[in-house]
Amino acid sequence: MTFDRESPQPDRPGIRGVVFDKDGTLFDFTRTWTPWCEQLVGELSGGDPGLARRLGAALGFDLELRMFEPDSVVLTDTIQAVVKTLLGVLPPDTDADRLFRHVDDSIATRSPAQVVPLRPLLERLRSAGIVLGLATNDQKKSTLRHLQQAGIDSCLSFVADADSGHGIKPGPGMLVAFCEHTGLSPQHCAMVGDSVFDMLAAQSANFLRIGVCSGPTPAERLGEMADIVLDSVADLPGWLGL
């Protein structure tokens, strides 16, 4: 499926830089984060079904349907926001620092499921002269580990995460930093992501907005903000005419 906003920028110069979101874009969100969320909720609830339901609801995760809401804090925000959300449900004497370390370690040690074989895809884009970057609200430790596990860390010329000092999405700081690092104009760049936050960041940075349907956000909602909506990153080379 491809949704195009009737070529809203037909005179836009060719794309020379592409920045990807991580979870839900390069890595399959459901296959990666559903089991993680179930395990975390199970550990923190200690077998209390009522507490488990409240934790799941706070995280925007339906335990029965095994589905995330499009606005889930796990999808859109940082680990600090996830921990703050959990602390709002857990007993008042919960150690915040210990909880942060537990959540951080649980994320960093999980092996993410690739949406498609990523290295051949990224190498194809690079061979066409496109500069590649990553912009994620995840922490540095887990971001680098996931990229290394997938064997794609060397494919990216620029990586920005929540610890990089460029702010977080939906702010444009990561994308502005990509342009500063590469010397590319925003007019030549695209942001590829699966969430509204990705599209807002791209809009603020004047990047082309490419939505992908490999995350929890419905295609119709992405289509309200994106210039183009693709099924997944696998469709990107074809759409770029490579």
* Cα distance between residue 232 and residue 150, in whole Å: 17
57: tokens are 């609801």
pLDDT at residue 27, rounded to an integer: 96
Q: How many alpha carbons lie under 13 Å from residue 125 in its C-beta half-sphere?
A: 27
Low-confidence ranges of the chain (pLDDT < 70): 1-13
pLDDT at 3: 56
As a whole number of angstroms, the distance between CA 162 and CA 168 comes to: 6
Looking at residue 6, what is its pLDDT?
Answer: 45
CA–CA dist 112, 69 (Å, integer)? 20
**Alpha carbon separation from 236 to 20, 64, 77, 116 (Å, rounded):** 11, 34, 25, 12
C-alpha to C-alpha distance for 170 and 174, rounded to whole angstroms: 10
**Which of 25, 52, 5, 39 lies closest to 136, judged by CA?**
25
Q: pLDDT at position 2, please?
A: 55
- CATH for 15-27+113-238 (3.10.690.10, 3.40.50.1110, 1.10.10.10, 3.40.50.1000): 3.40.50.1000
- pLDDT given for residue 16 in this prediction: 97
- Read off the DSSP letter of residue 197: H
CA dist 61 and 213 (Å) reads: 18
CA distance 210 to 227: 6
pLDDT, one tens digit per residue, over 139-191 is 898 899 999 999 999 999 999 999 999 999 999 999 999 999 999 999 999 99
Residue 155: its pLDDT value, please?
A: 98
Contact 226, 40 (CB under 8 A): no
Question: How many CB atoms neighbour CB 106 within 10 A?
Answer: 16
| Domain residue ranges in the chain | 15-27+113-238, 29-107
Q: For strand 228-230 and strand 17-20, is the pairing parallel, antiparallel, or unpaired? A: unpaired
